Amino acid sequence: MTQAKIKDINHVAIIMDGNGRWAEARGLDRLDGHMRGARMVKKIVRASKTLGVKHLTLYAFSTENWKRSEKEVSGLMRIFRRYILSESADMLAEGVRLKFIGKRDELDDKLTSLMNWVEGQTAQNSTLNLTIALNYGGRDELVRASRKMAEAVKNGDLKPEDITENTISNYLDTAGTPDPDLVIRTSGEFRTSNFLPWQSSYSEFAFIDESWPDFTVALYEQAISNFRRRERRFGSVIGK
Ligand code: IPE
Ligand code: IPE
Ligand code: MG
């Protein structure tokens, strides 16, 4: 494997965790933490472009997050709508292509129409591919992909013996996006919480103590420079 291959960073995926604790520690409402978190997104999107990251995937809401209070869930949905409305012009101007992954049919119509609209608006952009995982769960994604494959087999469009790892990748929401090189999780938790299980099989991981609202471009750069120093073996023996 060449040195350049080892150091390439094409796709960063981030589990933006810790908004709620950040707010609670300051006597604020959890939604204040989510609003601070949304502001951080803009900084990280800009920094990604500077650092040469081509794909950035952000975990915004999991299929398990519906277990939270109605107030927090509806507040988050409002933040997502506002984020799309307030950021779309800048994203368009800055070459950002925005896409969403996750189970869309459980989201309300106001939000899904904005998601569809902004995806269409930014479809021609290619400087940075920003994917937001919204009502995303890796297991749910695999269930939906399996159902689609089963339908294709039933209709005679796919033969069971032709199903390969590539076929499965192509049935996932992330079809066409390379696997993440680096997955970052903020706020000190050492778990992936159903984020990109198939796609991150060979990703490097960075677990950062700071909560998402306290994340900084400097911490982001540090995670990327640590990544560049790691040796990715993909099951082989380097140098042999
Ligand atoms: C991450 O922050 C954002 C979402 C899950 C929507 P949290 O809300 O999970 O913050 P903590 O982990 O409770 O501090
Ligand atoms: C993962 O964080 C989901 C997002 C960051 C959107 P959670 O806070 O929901 O995960 P757990 O509950 O700590 O595993
Ligand atoms: Mg959390």
Question: Where exactly are the structural domains of the chain?
Answer: 11-137+178-228
Q: List beta partners, residue 231.
A: none
4 pLDDT more than 50: no
C-beta of 17 in contact with ligand 1 (< 6 A): yes
The arithmetic mean of pLDDT across residues 150-160, rounded, is: 98
121 pLDDT more than 50: yes
Atom of ligand 2 nearest to the CA of 61: 6
- Amino acid 232: pLDDT: 85
C-beta of 76 in contact with ligand 1 (< 6 A): yes
1 pLDDT more than 50: no
156 pLDDT more than 90: yes
The arithmetic mean of pLDDT across residues 63-71, rounded, is: 98
- Indicate the average pLDDT of the chain: 95
Residues whose beta carbons lie less than 5 angstroms from ion ligand 3: 17
Buried b / exposed e over 132-153, threshold 16 CB at 10 Å, is bbbbbbbebbeebbeeebeeee
11-137+178-228 is a CATH 2.60.40.1930 domain: no
Closest residue by Cα to residue 169 from 178, 157, 182: 178
> pTM of the predicted model, to two decimals?
0.96
Whole-number percent of the chain with pLDDT over 90: 93
- Amino acid 231: pLDDT: 86
Q: Which two tokens stand for residue 30?
A: 């959890």
Residues with a known catalytic role: 17, 65
14 pLDDT more than 60: yes
3-state SS assignment for residue 199: coil
